[in-house]
Amino acid sequence: MELSGRNVLITGASSGIGAETARELARAGANVYLAGRSENRTRAVVEDIRRQAQRPAAHWLPLDLADLASVRRCAADFLALDVPLHILINNAGLAGARGLTADGFEMTFGVNHLGHFALTELLLDRIRASAPARIVTVASRAHRYANSIEWQDLRRPTRSLTGAREYGVSKLCNILFSTELAKRLTGSGISTYSLHPGVVATDIWRAVPTFLRPLLKLRGMLSPTEGAQTTLYCAMRCPASESGHYYAKSRRTLPSLCAQNDALAAELWRRSENWTR
């Protein structure tokens, strides 16, 4: 895609994969809107992008994905700018955190899936009006450890010791959401993609107690720059004809059988829609 003058909104871009993705898209000519909780952490990335681009190419939007009221405010803030939205990148991720979101959902599910579902829905009319456009959702190969979605668990506090089980479910939901979204957007000029970025050395597991981290095998990881490559491929180069598919190492890849379950994807959409109204 030609990105000169195009607008991109990225969640969770204050560090890691999101920050590297924002930098590369700005280098390609895009205006990037970095949505996240911390203005202080994001400000350094915004200023770095502006300095390198020699133009006001980056902007911060306040967003807490664990609070649907904040998600609605973020969407309203962007819509009030009255600019097109050509690429939405649902990048922010959380793992190992415990408890419930402000709206009563298991924390990892609420942040990784439900907050992004709500944000995408709220921005969808603007994205339609901006077509051709793309929606990219950063999932993970960890979805393969989730063989089902226990609906009742999504309304309970985190139960596993490390949060890895809940993380796998949330990443399964990311893929199911992207696939169902592609079906609903057929013929709209909007393509959707989900992806595994690789096992990347970021602070996503910061909520896991230090003594438990060896259980997660947090070694031999990619750098954030390497981890951003598949996101960038889906945002800039992936054929629109491959909408709805899952990618790893910048190649189309089959997800787990559970992630290919159309009935499960439709049911997740129905419940997510009800939960975010």
The answer to whether 205 touches 96, Cβ cutoff 8 Å, is yes
The answer to whether 37 touches 224, Cβ cutoff 8 Å, is no
Residue 150 in domain: yes
What pLDDT does residue 143 have? 96
Residue 144 in domain: yes
Residue 1 in domain: no
pLDDT beyond 80 at 21: yes
Residue 178 in domain: yes
Tokens representing 70?
Answer: 């904040």
Domain count across the chain: 1
pLDDT beyond 60 at 202: no
The answer to whether 123 touches 9, Cβ cutoff 8 Å, is yes
What pLDDT does residue 199 have? 65
What pLDDT does residue 227 have? 81
- For the stretch 113-135, pLDDT in tens is 999 999 999 999 999 999 999 99
The answer to whether 244 touches 179, Cβ cutoff 8 Å, is yes
- For the stretch 233-260, pLDDT in tens is 999 999 999 999 999 999 999 999 999 9
Task: Please tell me the distance from the alpha carbon of residue 109 to that of residue 147, in angstroms, as a whole number.
Answer: 15
- For the stretch 25-48, pLDDT in tens is 999 999 999 999 999 999 999 999
Catalytic residues: 167
Q: What is the CATH number of the domain that holds 93?
A: 3.40.50.720
Percent of the chain with pLDDT over 70: 91
Residue 2 in domain: no
- For the stretch 205-220, pLDDT in tens is 454 555 454 544 555 5
Question: Percentages helix, strand, coil for the chain, rounded to the nearest 5?
Answer: 50, 15, 35
Task: Please tell me the distance from the alpha carbon of residue 57 to that of residue 23, in angstroms, as a whole number.
Answer: 10
Tokens representing 157?
Answer: 């506090």
Percent of the chain with pLDDT over 90: 84
- Report the candidate in 22, 5, 137 with the shortest Cα–Cα distance to residue 83: 5
Average pLDDT over all residues of the chain: 92
- For the stretch 76-103, pLDDT in tens is 999 999 999 999 999 999 988 889 999 9
Residue 68 in domain: yes
Residue 222 in domain: yes
The answer to whether 155 touches 110, Cβ cutoff 8 Å, is no
Tokens representing 96?
Answer: 């190992």
Residue 200 in domain: yes
Is pLDDT larger for residue 225 or for residue 49?
49
What is the residue whose two structure tokens read 């975010």?
A: 276
User: Which residues form the domain of 212?
Assistant: 7-275
